[in-house]
Amino acid sequence: MFTIAMVGGALAVAFEAYGTLTAMPDAAQDLGRLDLYAWAFTAFVIAQVLAIVLAGRLVDRIGPVIPLAAGVVVFTLGLLGGGLSSNMLMLLGFRALQGFGGGALNLAFMVVVAQAYGKAERAWMMSILSFCWMLPSFVGPPVSAWITTTWSWHWVFLGIVPLLVIVSALGWRPLTSMQRLHHDPATSSNPVPIWAAIAAAFGAALLQVAGQRLDLIAIGLAAAGLGVLLVALPRLMPPGFMRVNRGLPSVMWTRALAAGAYFAGESFIPVMLTQLYGFSLRAAGFFLALGATGWTIGSLVQAWRGLKMRRDEIVQVGAASLALSTVMMTLCTWLELPWVYFAVAFVILGFGMGLLVSSTSLINMQLSEARLIGRNTSSLQVGEGLGNALVTGVAGTIFAGLLDQGSIALTYGPIYALCAIVSILALLAALRIGPVRNESSGVG
């Protein structure tokens, strides 16, 4: 029953993500503020970064169950408010509330997996969770589009609420039992300061704003955002992060850079396919499922007990797959090769992420002391979110600057070249992790 509740929760969050991505253009136009469209996602990410840090600190003090339950409640309230919104500013406020609840939920969710499942079971649980994100990538967009055109975009938000209520009811008893068994761990001697969490969220916001402008003000905003992050990051990450030390610091860098390369590349695929290959928007949306399929395959492979590789070696293979695939994507866009080559590269990209994300999460669980599991999990997820925001922001600036140059190849080639460079940096960081035992296959 506990695993069913966990899987159901992951499915609900994934359906919300893909459904919102499909319905948001109609929502913004219906509310008369299409100019604020990008902020529907920016508000979510910024609030999510803040919540991840705060939830990590809370988890180390009281365990993951209460933060998980609180995250579900806040996320559900955000869905209700979003579905009932009558203007764009109201919708943006509730999107931020969703992000805050989602950040706490995701952080606590990973810690629950670390505590509730044995070392050999965790890898398969990560594979199951990857499948929970693959299924909505196929079903979510068409279902969301049908709901939006048949009834209204409001029901894309409201329709997830009953599923979350059912999942919460299923998981209530086992989570309550888990909380009763919880013993307060020793308080961390180096807790994440609240100001660092706020600074990270503020820095990410400045960078998001700067990425949407092409003027002198954008340069100032970007510099201020980077400055704030440079001050906050050392307090949010494990010691040695800025020096890319072996162990957890290198794991954090690998995850952040890989996430930046993947999500930046993925975000421009629909518009690139329509302009370069003449895809319809619907076909381009289905194309995104290729990445999710590769991701799921990679996650299954990393959990295979017959895979005689250490965890750090699996991460390195994943990072190498990212580097190879993004180089292929760069060549496809520069040389305008047939779309089937780009499709193959995208599957390889997803495969690499399936290996890397699951394995970095498992390494974090293995290398973290019990009293620091919440803090280190928050560091991993904050790094992923900031890597996504930074690289996608730079890619967006490139896109805006080259869009009117008249050459599709000149527009998208540099974007995927950026992703390739970031992927290579992720591989270099992965090579510094050091030997980590593969608990699933007993190697290392």
- CB within 8 A of 276, min separation 6: which ones? 333, 336, 339, 408, 409, 412
91/226 same-domain check: no
Count of domains for the chain: 3
Q: Quick one: 3 and 113 in the same domain? A: yes
Q: What is the pLDDT of residue 179?
A: 66
Residue 443's DSSP bridge partners are: 438
In a shared domain, residues 153 and 10: yes
Q: Are residues 210 and 252 in the same domain?
A: no
Map tokens 């293995």 to a residue: 366
Under DSSP, the state recorded for 336 is T
Helix intervals (H) in 237-276: 248-267, 269-276
Stretches where the chain sits below pLDDT 50 are 186
Tens digit of each residue's pLDDT (9 = 90 or more) over 226-246 = 899 899 888 889 899 999 999
Beta carbons within 10 angstroms of residue 428's beta carbon? 16
What does the DSSP 8-state code read for residue 117?
Answer: S
Supply the pLDDT for residue 341.
95
The count of C-alpha atoms lying within 13 angstroms of the C-alpha of 341, restricted to the half-sphere facing its C-beta, is 15
From 184, 200, 223, give the residue that closes a domain.
184
pTM of the entire structure?
0.79
How far is it, in rounded angstroms, from Cα 86 to Cα 88?
A: 7
Give φ, ψ of 84 to 5 degrees.
Answer: -100, 5
Asked if residue 226 and residue 88 are part of one domain, the reply reads no
End-of-domain residue from the set 203, 236, 269: 236
Query: What is the pLDDT, as a whole number, of residue 329?
Result: 96
pLDDT at 434: 95
Whether 226 and 259 map to the same domain: the answer is: no
Give residue 219's pLDDT: 85
pLDDT at 337: 92
Domain containing residue 223: 192-236
* 202 and 180 together in one domain: no
- For the chain, how big is the Rg over CA atoms in Å? 21
Check whether residue 115 and residue 145 sit in a common domain.
yes
Q: Are residues 28 and 49 in the same domain?
A: yes
- 438 phi and psi angles, rounded to 5 deg: -90, 100
- The reply to whether 165 and 294 lie within a common domain is no
Backbone phi, psi, residue 407, to 5°: -120, 120
CATH number where 146 lies = 1.20.1250.20
- How many CA atoms are closer than 13 Å to the CA of 42, on its beta-carbon side? 18
Q: Are residues 150 and 18 part of one domain? A: yes
Q: Which of residues 166, 184, 202 is at a domain's end?
A: 184
Measured at the alpha carbon of residue 54, what is the angle toward residues 263 and 381, in degrees to the nearest 5?
Answer: 25
Give yes or no: residues 421 and 436 share one domain: yes
